[in-house]
Amino acid sequence: MELLKERILRDGRAAEGGVLKVDSFLNHQIDISLLQEIGKEFRRRFPQPEINKILTIEASGIGIAAIAAQYFGNADVVFAKKTRSKNLDGELYTAPVRSYTRGEMFEVQVARRYLTPGDHVLVIDDFLAHGQALKGLMEIIRQSGAHLVGCGIVIEKGFQSGGRQLREQGVNLQSLAIVDSISDGVVSFREEA
Ligand code: 5GP
């Protein structure tokens, strides 16, 4: 997606450990008109009419999924929570995830009543690195008996292993920009994204 790649080149910042910071338009301040274009592009890549639910993970996925849902006939958005709170009552699906940015393990959780066997689910997230977050969300979908239609990622880091592993497993994974390298602060992209 050219618009997204241009924005990454303009405003993205390379940080330590292969981390790309996009706080000025995606992860802290949010550019809504860019998210609208991202939402339209996800719809173009996932035209399946049966998609009725978008699953994401707090916090950065929520805004992306909420805007994208408008292009999916106002599909319901469910976000997995990272901490157990009193608000999360009833039975839960849970899966362990290793946090890329903090390095620690946490549990993602979704209330059972929001994911059921009749659901056709698109998973959306901001970044794909080693695939831990997506694997956790896919495990929750598996537990629920819902149907996974595919995974939509805004920025995949192709130099980390998550994307390759998920594609090898046959997951319909669509990344709107694939960063192939970040070298001396210079970002380069894989052509086909
Ligand atoms: P994974 O679970 O695929 O290893 O990492 C994906 C998660 O880690 C995303 O939900 C995202 O929040 C975070 N993440 C991974 N790499 C980056 C990065 O380069 N920049 C930012 N801002 N977040 C990242």
Nearby residues of 24 by Cβ (< 8 Å), 6 or more positions away: 11
Rg of the chain (C-alpha set): 16
pLDDT at 171: 98
Distance 43 CA to ligand 1 centre (A): 22
Confidence (pLDDT) at 159? 96
Q: Kindly report, residue by residue over 108-141, the tens digit of the pLDDT.
A: 999 999 999 999 999 999 999 999 999 999 999 9
SS3 state of residue 90: coil
Q: Per-residue pLDDT tens for 56-80?
A: 999 999 999 999 999 999 899 999 9
Distance, CA 183 to ligand 1 centroid (Å)? 18
Binding site membership of 187 for ligand 1 (Cβ less than 6 Å): no
133 C-beta closer than 6 A to ligand 1:
yes
At 88, is the pLDDT very low, low, confident or very high (cuts 50, 70, 90)?
Answer: low
Q: 9 CA distance to ligand 1 centroid (A)?
A: 18
Read off the pTM. Answer: 0.96
> Does the C-beta of 126 come closer than 6 Å to ligand 1?
yes
pLDDT of residue 109: 96
Q: Verify whether ligand 1 is closer than 6 Å to residue 98 (CB atom).
A: no
**Position 12 pLDDT exceeds 80:** yes
Which SS3 state, helix, strand or coil, does residue 188 take? strand
For the ranges 5-14, 38-47, 98-107, the lowest mean pLDDT is seen at: 98-107
The model's pLDDT over 163-186, given as tens digits with 9 standing for 90+, comes to 999 999 999 999 999 999 998 889
- Minimum CA distance residue for ligand 1 atom 14: 127
176 close to ligand 1 (CB < 6 Angstrom): no
In this predicted structure, what is the pLDDT of residue 90? Answer: 72
187 phi/psi in degrees, rounded to 5: -95, 130
